[in-house]
Copies of this chain bind each other. A is one copy, B any other.
Amino acid sequence: MSNTAQAQLGLVLEAGGSELAELLERTEARLVKVADGHGSALGRHAGGTLAAGGKRLRPVLVFLSAAEPDARLVVAGAAVELLHMATLVHDDVLDGAELRRGRPTVFAKGGRAAATATGDLLFSRAFAELTGTGSEDAVRALSAASSALARGELMQRADAWSEDVTPERYLERCRLKTARLFECACLIGADPEPREAQALATYGVEIGLAFQLLDDVLDVTGPAERTGKARGTDLLDGTVTMPLILARERDPALAELDLRALDPAGAAAACDRIADTGVLDEVRADARERVERAKSVLAAAGIDERRRELLTMVADGVVERYS
């Protein structure tokens, strides 16, 4: 996470007061406990993954979507984070990724089998945790998000290296891969009042899409010291994202570019060409519009001002992350 994003989350925590901070602390404690009692190797891998942290953005969405703090929120926040981490661990196996957030992945430390088993364990723990809340709706929402994640992951791999991914298909993939779990976090936290839950679901989807769009811009712009990844990692992986899709329409050299033939220097050069077409500002503008829409939907649903302020800060944080 960049320093600006960290600062932004700090502001949310400050504004959220001790209640929010306490929910997050209890979620951390719960995540640490999840890794206990599953045998030394598996516990070590799962524990290391959970301790590696991250923004805990999804649990924060669970908490801020609820009208009142409540013990069930800690469990629900932990469950959503566990599902998120399970998919990251399996993604790293498929990508053969050695590092995540600057730390060695489970795949790097334990190999393919250990990482597959660790992800499986985190999947099952996510659902076992959530069952503790006694809400069938919550489990159904998590299961639907889990199915969406799996479909999004498959779609990304099906579209790898493709020359004809449409913007619509790209957005559908982002929805499945990223936005649906944001939506799920909001829905699980939300009180069942229909207008409120619907508004929070829309909010979750829109900031999820904005998050993914800006993440994909960042892969083009770098710099690596901010993102922890070399520029053009997506291009080298064959992942076709919105900046490339739009830039291909404007620059014939990009339209003819064979991603499979790229080396890191070629990927950096392609990133420069993508930036030169001016599409990055368009993608950023689309993301910002989604964030604005997310914020205005909350206002229209009559969500109380204090929560709206915090959710607005989270939404702005998604944009800040990349500014």
A residues neighboring B (CB under 8 Å):
37-39, 41-42, 83, 86-87, 90, 93-94, 111-114, 116-121, 123-125, 127-128, 131-132, 134, 136, 139-140, 142-143, 146-147, 149-151, 153-155, 157-158
29 contacts between A and B (CB under 8 A): A38-B147, A38-B150, A39-B155, A42-B150, A42-B154, A90-B116, A94-B113, A113-B154, A113-B157, A114-B154, A114-B157, A116-B116, A117-B150, A117-B151, A117-B153, A117-B154, A120-B149, A121-B147, A121-B150, A123-B124, A124-B143, A124-B146, A127-B128, A127-B131, A127-B139, A128-B142, A128-B143, A131-B131, A131-B139
Residues in B neighbouring A149, C-beta threshold 8 A: 120
Specify which of B93, B113, B132 is in contact with A153 (CB 8 Å cutoff): B113
CB–CB B142/A136 < 8 A: no
Q: How many copies does the complex hold?
A: 2
Asked whether B136 lies within 8 Å of A134 as measured between CB atoms, the reply is yes
Which chain B residue lies CB-closest to A137?
B131
Residues of B close to A112: CB separation below 8 A = 94
Contact of A87 with B132 at beta-carbon distance under 8 Å, contacts A39-B154, A113-B154 already known = no
**Which residues of B lie under 8 Å from residue A113 when comparing CB positions?**
94, 153-154, 157
In the complex, what residues of B have CB within 8 A of residue A42's CB? 147, 150-151, 154
Q: How far is the CA of A205 from the CA of B87 in the complex (A)?
A: 31
- Please measure, in the bound complex, the distance between the C-alpha atom of A139 and the C-alpha atom of B136, giving whole angstroms: 12
Tell me whether A143 and B127 are in contact in the complex, defined as CB-CB below 8 angstroms, given that A38-B150, A151-B38 are known contacts.
yes
CB A87 to nearest CB in B, in angstroms, measures 7
